[in-house]
Amino acid sequence: MEENELEQQDRRDFLSCLGSALACGAAAVAASALAPPATAATAATAGAKPPAIPGYDWSKHRWGYGVDATKCIGCLRCVEACKKENNVLGDAHHFRTWVERYVYLEGEETARIDSHADPVNIAASGSEGEYRFADRYKDAKVEKAFFVPKLCNHCTHPACVQVCPTGATYKTEDGVVVIDHTYCIGCQYCVQACPYGARYFDERRNVTDKCTWCYHRITKGLQPACVEVCPVGARIFGDLNDKQSPISQFVKNNQVQVLRRESGNAPNVFYVGIDKEVI
Amino acid sequence: MPRHIVRLVLLMVAIGAVGYVAKIFFTADSFYEYGHYRGKSVAEIASDKPKYKGSEYCESCHAERFAEWSKGVHNKSDIGKVVKCEVCHGAAGERDVRGMFEHLATGVDHPNKLKLVVPTDARKLCTLCHEKMPGRPAQQPQIVVASHAGTQQCTVCHNPHSPKLNLVSTAPTPIRGDAARGKAKAAACVGCHGAEGVSVNLPGPSLAGQNAAYFIAALKAYGTGARDNPMMSAFAKGASDDDAQDLAAYFAALKCQSSLTAEKQAAAAGRATASKCIACHGADGVSSNRAWPNLVGHSKDYLVAALRAYKSGSRKGNMMAGIVKTLSDAETENVAAYYAGASCK
């Protein structure tokens, strides 16, 4: 009986001991997991040394991007320039930026949408390495049509960053979502998480890839390659901190809208001239 | 506490400790520097070399083309329309590719080894932007390719660096020939083209006052066989570049004279038809651009023969071939009379 009591006592002791141990362990794990980001955040706001980019301080910039769909002519020079600038895979199905064509035919409720990756457009361009829109609606009665350039929205609350298990993708202080390819394990959670389909998987390197707003160019005072080559000024880029920059003026002087506002990602690519079917 | 429980607890602590040490050991130095990522990767991503270098990069070597372009309609920065050099010619910078793509790196920019594209198929290139298509904004100049130019290349009429000018080149070609030397050499031409370059009832066209650049190009065309005429081909093959220059200088300096006045009645009827010619050859037969021939001062017979040659295809010319297709025989006669009757100024 006594022994039994002792045993019960022990079990109770053990359970309480185990409980407190678990609590302690959880606290320790939580502390080790949470503490570093917390200190990092305070360090960053306290003006820690910015990354070693010559002549560039990321705390002084907040990049933004504008698309004026009323100007886009669908020449796809941006798609080609982006691929060259960033060594994107050469075929039609891997791209960091793309252009969609929305065509409303007479009597049709919804738009017909295609991009350079559509088989008809690939056939018109002659190969997957060249990009052009085929004049496929020349005999149809078109009520309304327009082109919409698309790219990563570099969201303020990026879902892709939230789901990354390794910290390979992140948002920089100046507002650009980038990927550290040496840390990417190719799980593609981020490809799934992005509401805009802006990420693609690079089978060549087994990593995910995406638009960086040409981070290597903008940190040198240049424009992203797509903005650089756009012949009609449909793509606008600049620093939202600078009230005179093209993007600040664009946002100020136009009724801009963003794609999928309801997703809660708070995108930073601002559109003019698109209608409700563009998402 | 029983010993097996103590062992279990110790084991858990040990696993925890190993895990913690492993985390410290395997976490990159700069991880957590700015957040839950490797801080050093920011500078790494920013260190790539830009490929697109901008039009200013091209200016130092291609000043002439740059000047042409910068004044033209492909550089209208005031309305935000700028077709930079690299849009058509490709990126001038070849960047060094890091990591596992190092083998792809050539490490050279355009003037060194990296050749840029000189687009040969302008129909394919220009129509990327200028093919008429639903969805293209109205302010974008667009053409229906089939009816605009048939199967011709855009560059036949348009200078891609400054397309609005519409004609191949407006810059006068410097003539280095000597008119005095040319006069001596022209002795061979008198038989068909007349004394002082004015052909009166002779098989050849008048040459007096003809544009020198056109003269040289025409002579060269006979020399290479691009234009074929038993008489002229023989002369042209014997003529050197210097001869062509001298002759061009001589004939260009001569005063053009109207060959005949007998056809002036038909000329009135040809005036309407001449609207097809005026854009290039002028209402008075003096061409708006030095690349095209003046029509003033030619005999009607010569002009009719030339138009028929274009129509039959025995004389080649992308522009003219398209235009003569639309002319009836009567119109050909009349328009020839119209220009034959144009008075020299």
Phi, psi of B94 (to 5 degrees): -105, 115
**CB-based contact A225 B51, cutoff 8 Å:** yes
Q: Which residue among A72, A146, A212 places its CB closest to the CB of B45? A: A212
Closest residue in chain B to residue A17, using alpha carbons only: B9
CA distance B16 to A225: 49
Residue boundaries of the structural domains of chain B: 56-104, 122-165, 179-253, 264-340
- What's the pLDDT score for residue A3? 47
pLDDT at A46 over 50: no
**B309-318 tens-digit pLDDT:** 998 888 888 7
User: Given its phi and psi angles, is residue B181 left (phi above 0), alpha (psi -120 to 50 degrees) or beta?
Assistant: alpha
Which of B247 and B164 is assigned the larger pLDDT?
A: B247
Q: Which residue among B5, B43, B81 places its CB closest to the CB of A53? A: B43
| Mean per-residue pLDDT of chain A | 88
% pLDDT > 70, chain A:
83
| CATH class for the domain made up of B179-253 | mainly alpha
Put simply, the chain A residues between 140 and 169 with a CB less than 8 A from any chain B CB are 142, 145-147, 167-169
**B234-291 tens-digit pLDDT:** 888 888 888 999 999 999 888 887 655 445 667 777 888 888 888 888 888 888 778 8
**B93-123 tens-digit pLDDT:** 875 555 444 555 555 777 776 778 788 888 8
Under the banding of pLDDT at 50, 70 and 90, the label for residue B36 is very high
Cβ of residue B228 closer than 8 Å to a chain A Cβ: no
Q: Which residue among A135, A178, A220 places its CB closest to the CB of B131? A: A135
Put simply, the chain A residues between 53 and 82 with a CB less than 8 A from any chain B CB are 53, 56, 58, 70-77, 81
Give residue for tokens 């110790």. B10
- What's the pLDDT score for residue B268? 77
**CB-based contact A74 B136, cutoff 8 Å:** yes
- What's the pLDDT score for residue A148? 97
Judging contacts by C-beta atoms under 8 Å, the chain A residues touching residue B31 are: 167
H/E stretch holding B76 reads strand B75-76
Q: Provide long-range contacts, Cβ within 8 A and 24+ apart, for A206-209.
A: A207/A179, A207/A181, A208/A169, A208/A179, A208/A184, A209/A86, A209/A88, A209/A94, A209/A96, A209/A179, A209/A181
**CB-based contact A21 B9, cutoff 8 Å:** yes
Q: Are strands A112-114 and A177-179 parallel, antiparallel or unpaired?
A: unpaired
- What's the pLDDT score for residue B265? 62
pLDDT at A18 over 80: no
- What's the pLDDT score for residue B173? 59
**CB-based contact A167 B134, cutoff 8 Å:** no
User: Given its phi and psi angles, is residue B297 left (phi above 0), alpha (psi -120 to 50 degrees) or beta?
Assistant: left
What is the rounded radius of gyration, in angstroms, for the C-alpha atoms of chain A? 25
**Mean pLDDT (whole number) for A209-237:** 96
**CB-based contact A25 B16, cutoff 8 Å:** yes
CA distance B27 to B36: 11
- The answer to whether B1 and A10 have CB atoms below 8 angstroms apart is yes
Closest residue in chain A to residue B31, using alpha carbons only: A167
- The answer to whether B92 and B86 have CB atoms below 8 angstroms apart is yes
Tokens of B155: 């560059």
Interface size A-B, in CB pairs within 8 Å, comes to 169
pLDDT at B216 over 80: yes
Cβ of residue A137 closer than 8 Å to a chain B Cβ: yes
Closest residue in chain B to residue A50, using alpha carbons only: B34
Put simply, the chain B residues between 2 and 61 with a CB less than 8 A from any chain A CB are 2, 5, 9, 12, 16, 20, 23, 28, 31-52, 54
Domain covering B264-340: architecture: Orthogonal Bundle (1.10)
Quote the Cα angle for A173-B91-A168, to 5°. Answer: 30
Closest residue in chain A to residue B97, using alpha carbons only: A87
Q: Which residue among A14, A51, A71 places its CB closest to the CB of B43? A: A51
Phi, psi of B139 (to 5 degrees): -75, -10
**Domains assigned to chain A:** 60-154+214-272 (3.30.70.20), 155-209 (3.30.70.20)
pLDDT at A29 over 80: no
Cβ of residue B104 closer than 8 Å to a chain A Cβ: yes
**CB-based contact A52 B43, cutoff 8 Å:** yes
Asked whether this chain's domains B179-253 and B264-340 adopt the same fold, the reply is: yes
Judging contacts by C-beta atoms under 8 Å, the chain A residues touching residue B86 are: 81, 228-229
**A236-278 tens-digit pLDDT:** 999 999 999 999 999 999 999 999 999 999 999 999 999 888 8
C-alpha distances out from residue B311 to A30, B120, B294, B314, B329, Å: 88, 27, 19, 8, 10
**Mean pLDDT (whole number) for A45-56:** 79
